[in-house]
Structure 1
Amino acid sequence: MFDILTVCTGNICRSPLAEQLLRDRLADLAPHVSSAGTRGLPAAPMTPEAAHIAVALGVPESETVEHRSRFLTEQHLVSPDLILAMTRVHRRAIAELAPSRLRSTFTIREFARIAAVVPESEIKAAADAADYPSEKLRAAASVIASYRGLVPQPEDPEDDDVIDPYRQPWETYLLSARQLEPAVTAVAATVRTALT
């Protein structure tokens, strides 16, 4: 088994959507995917808009209904092999809680951007040197992290963030999903490269 954590602010829009999409797209690999919020509300459901988008993208409705938010703590950062923040602010909050996890922590769009230029052979070689799925994913994340200083930064740093749609119009939810979904697809592909 391997463990992925997604993180946003309230844990009711972006991070649960990312969690559910990743779980759905990696289901055959039996992942453990969870989410939390840096200012998570206690046991709040997903917003109806985020839940609607999740279902439209193939997530079973039962998963969206079952989601309850939780507040990110240091304990949540111990076991994940890959930690995916929705923005640079969330990534910073994670680094402050658990500095030792920085090589496993990315914004989800940053991970996708960097993974796109890392040779698949390097990811496979690092993963093949490990024995268990969790070790393989950590090794792949470490390779991708090693390219941080080599890959050009986006012209607009906000291009590494997923916009927060909470209490915004439906169009903002759609924009947020358009930013998030391709990054989820890229993460899932990289995980498959490492594990299969």
Structure 2
Amino acid sequence: MNSPRDDGPPPGVSRREWRKMQQSAAEPAAPAAEPPHDTRDSGHISLPDFLGGDPSPAAPAAALTILTVCTGNICRSPLAEVLLRARLESLGVRVHSAGTHALVGHGMPEPALELAAQAGADPSTAAAHLARYLVEPLLADADLVLTMAREHRSHVVKMMPNRLRRTFTVREFARLASTLSTEAARAAADAAGENPQDRFAAVLRAVAEQRGLTQGVAEDDDVVDPYRRSRETYARSAGQLVPALDEVERIVRAALT
């Protein structure tokens, strides 16, 4: 404990001046003013850290935005994200992912990283993934929402009912798209004009109109969840997902090229 002499003013300083100096030192410094942030032309949504941060690095407005969704956002939806990004980024398509119950801040497990690299994703992109929550701004920004299972599709539609016509499970989308030829998809896009969003919306309507033309068991519209399961289950999950992404890529290319 300090002695009384230690608490007094130094030589040559009055007690009044000493009190003022102590009060001034105790006051917190004012935070530095942040520069204004203009997001008008960024094509980019900023999310707070507790929601998982930004969905992707700041970039010019994309021709199209695709959102993939699963539960934890560490296995299925990020695998779909990095694979679609590798295939479609050259077209200006932005792809990101989120989880309905995300393990925020966690990366992809090793088996998922291995499968991503084997299927053609950029390993550094896959390794950089951090899980984030599914929030309404992400849904509002998406031209297409691809969920990994029916439960996620239901979650999306409850959160934002006006995204009903833009939301499919990824295997459901592939099943419906399989009966729509590339030529028919491109014709639907051409009839909508030059705007990428309008073209893709027209193709989505054409895909949705295939309902009733394909037969399938409801469970077949889901991608199996491999989280905390064997590498064989990871491989089976990817075996369901990757062929579905082939159809997604075909339809997107038909709409944009």
Q: TM-score, normalised by structure 1?
A: 0.94
1:152 positional shift: 3.4
Q: Is the 8 A contact 1:7 1:86 kept in 2?
A: yes
Report Cα offsets for 1:17-75 as digits up to 9, x if no partner: 00110111113202100000011111211111111110111111110111011110122
Query: In structure 2, how many angstroms separate the alpha carbons of the residues matched to 1:163 and 1:56?
Result: 19
Percent identity over the alignment? 47
Q: C-alpha displacement at 1:121, in angstroms? A: 3.8
What amino acid sits opposite 1:167 in the alignment?
A: R
Rg (Cα) greater in structure: 2
What corresponds to 2:115 in structure 1? Answer: 53
What is the correspondence of 1:37-186 to structure 2 with a 5 Å cutoff?
37-128=99-190, 129-148=192-211, 150-154=212-216, 156-186=217-247
Unaligned ranges ≥5, structure 1: none
Show the 5 A alignment for 1:14-33: 14-33=76-95
CA–CA distance in structure 1, aligned partners of residues 117 and 123 of structure 2: 6
Deviations 1:141-189 (CA, angstroms, capped at 9, x unpaired): 12211222x22341x3111110000000010000000000000111001
Letter in 1 for 2:244: A
Residue 114 of structure 1 aligns with an amino acid whose one-letter code is L
Quick one: distance in 1 between partners of 2:165 and 2:213? 15
RMSD: 1.2
Distance, in Å, in 1 between the alignment partners of 2:127 and 2:182 is 37
Letter in 2 for 1:4: I
CA distance in 1, matches of 2:137, 2:177: 27
Write the letter of the residue equivalent to 2:206. V
- 132-141 or 167-176, which deviates more: 132-141
**Cα deviation, residue 117, structure 1:** 0.6
Preserved contact between residue 3 and residue 134 of structure 1 (Cα < 8 Å): no
Larger RCO of the pair (alpha carbons < 8 Å, separation 6+): 1
2:54 aligned with 1:2: no
**Higher helix fraction (1 or 2):** 1
Whole-Å separation in 1 of the counterparts to 2:183 and 2:127: 40
> Structure 1 residue 123: deviation in Å?
1.9
Corresponding residue pairs, total: 194
Do the aligned residues in 2 keep the contact of 1:84 with 1:105 (CA within 8 Å)? yes
Distance 2:109 2:201 in 1: 32
Task: Work out the CA distance in 2 between the residues paired with 1:107 and 1:51.
Answer: 22
Contact 1:81 1:134 in 2 (8 A): yes
- CA contact under 8 A between 1:81 and 1:135: conserved in structure 2? no
Secondary structure of 1:33's match? Answer: strand
> CA 1:40–1:130 in 2, change beyond 3 Å: closer, same or farther?
farther
Query: What TM-score comes out, normalization by structure 2 length?
Result: 0.73
Distance 2:86 2:66 in 1: 13
Structure-2 separation of matches of 1:41 and 1:138: 32
Distance 1:24 1:34 in 2: 12
- Determine helix, strand or coil for the equivalent of 1:50: helix
Letter matched to residue 138 of structure 1: A
